[in-house]
Structure 1
Amino acid sequence: MQEVRDARQRVKRALLAATAVVAFAATAGGYVFAQTPTYVDALKPGAAVKLYSAPDTKSSSVDADAKSLPLPIAGASQKGFYPVKIGQTTYWADGMAVKIVRNVQARCSQSAGVQAAGTLGAAANRCGN
């Protein structure tokens, strides 16, 4: 009798796991985002960005003028600093002193349609259910 109960519990757990996987796939399928390269830009238009030789503010620094901005991020951030490349040299931009530009667009088969400000998760860049 105990074996029958154990078998029923295993079947219930397997069905629950399968249901969870299907539910996750159904909800996550509409929220696929296409990430384009991320850039570092000055907080104010025309301002220079201070770049450091290491991911800290104590290392030597140079200024990237407004003509060379925005700079593409060349890797993962460390300690709140973003790596950027100028020529063959890697510099680090302080994340608190720059604006990070991310061009993220939703790709979905069904648009969210018209939304009001009171709609939970309301945004122009959102997929429908």
Structure 2
Amino acid sequence: MIMQQVRDTRQRIKYAFLTVTAAIAVSAAASGTASAQAPTYVDAQKPGGTVKLYSAPDIKSSAIDAPTLPLLVQGASQHDFYPVKVDGKPYWVDGMDVKVVRSAQARCSQSAGIQAAGTLGAAANRCQ
């Protein structure tokens, strides 16, 4: 009986520790991405392709072809459409018709150096 209570207490402590650790990790990740958010662009899915610009975030609204690519995303997406501006006018781009390009870069004073394929988190864009 006492051994069962000890096991139950250990499981509760372990669960509480894992919950707190996960909450701290999510909080740190959210604050890190919010402060260093890189610009997001949309481009044609294939080289030389076109992108349709809509007047509202739906495919039923009027559409024209974008004169230049890539286009800078100007806010949060709605209904899988990205807001962009062309010649100072707001338009929407269908997320299913474009390639989203995010130029995220690590910002650190010292690079991680050479990485092996088996190294956890190996990437050229990584800090030490």
Alignment TM class, shorter chain as reference: 0.5 to 0.7
Which of 42, 45, 49 pairs up with 2:44? Answer: 42
The alignment covers a number of residue pairs equal to: 102
Q: Which amino acid aligns with 1:114?
A: I
Which of 51, 59, 62 pairs up with 1:60? Answer: 62
Shift of 1:34: 4.6
1:36 and 1:58 mapped to 2: Cα distance?
A: 31
Q: Which has the higher strand share?
A: 1
Instruction: Map residues 15-54 of structure 1 onto 2, 5 A cutoff.
Output: 34-54=36-56
More relative contact order, 1 or 2 (CA 8 Å, 6+ apart): 1
Gaps of 5+ in 2: 1-16
What is the TM-score normalised by the length of structure 2?
A: 0.67
Asked whether 1:70 is paired with 2:70, we answer yes
Residue 122 of structure 1 corresponds to 122
1:53 and 1:98 mapped to 2: Cα distance?
A: 16
Structure 2 counterpart SS, 1:106: coil
Residue 86 of structure 1 corresponds to 86
What is the TM-score normalised by the length of structure 1?
A: 0.66
CA contact (8 A) 1:42 1:69 kept: yes
Gaps of 5+ in 1: 1-15
Q: Which amino acid aligns with 1:116?
A: A
Q: Aligned-pair RMSD on alpha carbons?
A: 2.6
